[in-house]
Amino acid sequence: MDKPKKVLVSRQFPDIGIQLLEEAGFELTIWPKDRPMYPSELIALSRDHQALLCTLSDMISKEFLEKCCHLEIISQFAVGYDNIDVAEATRLRIPIGFTPDVMSEATADIAFGLMIATARKMFFLHKTILKGEWGYFKPRGNLGMELMGKTLGIFGLGRIGMKMAQRCKNAYGMKIIYHSRRPNPGTEKELDASWVSFEELLARSDVLSVHSVLSHETRGRFNWETFRQMKPTAIFINTARGAIHNETDLIEALSSKQIWGAGLDVTDPEPMARENPLLSMETVCVLPHVGSGTVEARNAMSSVAAENIIEFYRTGTLPYLVNPPALEK
């Protein structure tokens, strides 16, 4: 680099990535506040920088990209990038980096944990203690359900879906079925899993766990029509993106016992309002989007997001690139 490139860092990411960038000679501006920047702040600050290191709470919209088309690279600290208008970035030839793989174990742990917590009503029962309602042992009360030998349906068998399936198979001998746009024969063999149609996934899953990206095809994919086709004993898990399920329909499906329970690490909107009826339901467990929230995963995400910027300026390409056409000559 002749002149140090300036990188705008939109949040306080783990030190490891920041140090890598500093050691590589970049000049950094780190947004100091705990909250994300407002769109106008992001546009104003980006103007003076060549690279942006951002995350899912930053709206990299068409408007942002039009106003900041001088950016040479955008590196996203997340595996998901539905906050970014990728088509527009590609049109403007701005490469987008992301951080796949490194948070798959952490996110699969949260999906697996939510499945067990929901099956045994753990969050609800914890709240009864806080309210002083422990009372006596109830032979017929507080009953959950067992997972041994049940059928796990995976919607979107990518890296995280696969880790969830491995956990369920190893711990509970669960039968694995999945629905993805394309069958994945290698993974099928490893997990003894079978590809099924979406309708069959709904009808057969005892636990249905969502691991797909949010796109125009998956937005609102789980709605009243789909919940209606699931078993009344089914548990719905979503650790991907909240907008993949329709929340009003989910509330209705749970209240009318169309399905049995739900474990959510993602909601729409985020944060969820304290008054949301899901938070007081017996068979619902909600977490505040912490899938990748381990020291190991967040450090690795920070370093991959930094390496994407460093490698781009060193070699002209990124180890983890969302939009290869942006770099085509």
Which residue ranges make up the site for ligand DGY (CB under 6 A)? 56, 78-80, 103, 291-292
Output the smallest distance, CB 10 to ligand DGY, in A: 14
Strands (E), the chain: 6-9, 27-30, 51-54, 73-76, 96-97, 151-155, 175-179, 194-195, 207-210, 235-238, 261-264, 284-286
Report the residue number, 89 or 103, with the smaller CB distance to ligand DGY. Answer: 103
Nearer to ligand DGY, 5 or 159 (CB): 159
Q: By C-beta, is 52 or 78 nearer to ligand DGY?
A: 78
Spatial separation of the C-alpha atoms in residues 187 and 47, rounded to whole Å: 45
Least distance (Å) between residue 103 CB and ligand DGY: 6
Tell the smallest beta-carbon distance from residue 100 to ligand DGY (Å).
Answer: 8
Residue of 23, 199, 225, 270 with catalytic role: 270
- What tokens does 109 get? 């742990």
Question: What span, in angstroms and rounded, lies between the C-alpha atoms of 8 and 30?
Answer: 6
Has 105 been annotated as catalytic? no
Reading the block at residue 311, the tokens are 């490698």
Other CB atoms within 10 Å distance of the CB of residue 16: 14
Nearer to ligand DGY, 100 or 183 (CB): 100
Catalytic residue among 245, 289, 298, 311: 289
Torsion (CA) 62, 67, 69, 72 in degrees, nearest 10: -100
**Of residues 80 and 144, the one with the C-beta less far from ligand DGY:** 80
CB of 105 to ligand DGY, least distance (A): 13
Smallest gap from residue 267 Cβ to ligand DGY (A): 12
Spatial distance between the Cα atoms of 121 and 16, rounded to a whole number of angstroms: 38
Nearest-angstrom CA–CA distance, 198 and 173: 23
Q: Is 22 a catalytic residue?
A: no
Q: Which is nearer to ligand DGY, 90 or 239 (CB)?
A: 239
β-partners of residue 8 are 29, 52
Q: Which residues face 321 on adjacent strands?
A: 97
Whichever of 283 and 308 has its CB closer to ligand DGY, that residue is 308
With beta carbons less than 8 A apart as the criterion, state whether 6 and 29 touch: yes
Place of tokens 């290869």: 324
Instruction: Find the shortest distance in angstroms from Cβ 143 to ligand DGY.
Output: 33
The amino acid sitting at 268 is: D
Residue of 159, 241, 245, 298 with catalytic role:
241
Burial of 10 (C-beta count, 10 Å sphere; 0-12/13-18/19+): buried
Residue 280 CB, nearest approach to ligand DGY (Å) = 25
Task: Report the distance separating Cα 213 and Cα 26, nearest Å.
Answer: 32
Is 270 one of the annotated active-site residues of the chain?
yes
For CA atoms 261, 263, 268, 272, the dihedral sign is positive
Q: Where are the alpha helices (DSSP H) in 173-243?
A: 185-191, 198-204, 224-227
Residue positions annotated with a catalytic role: 241, 270, 289
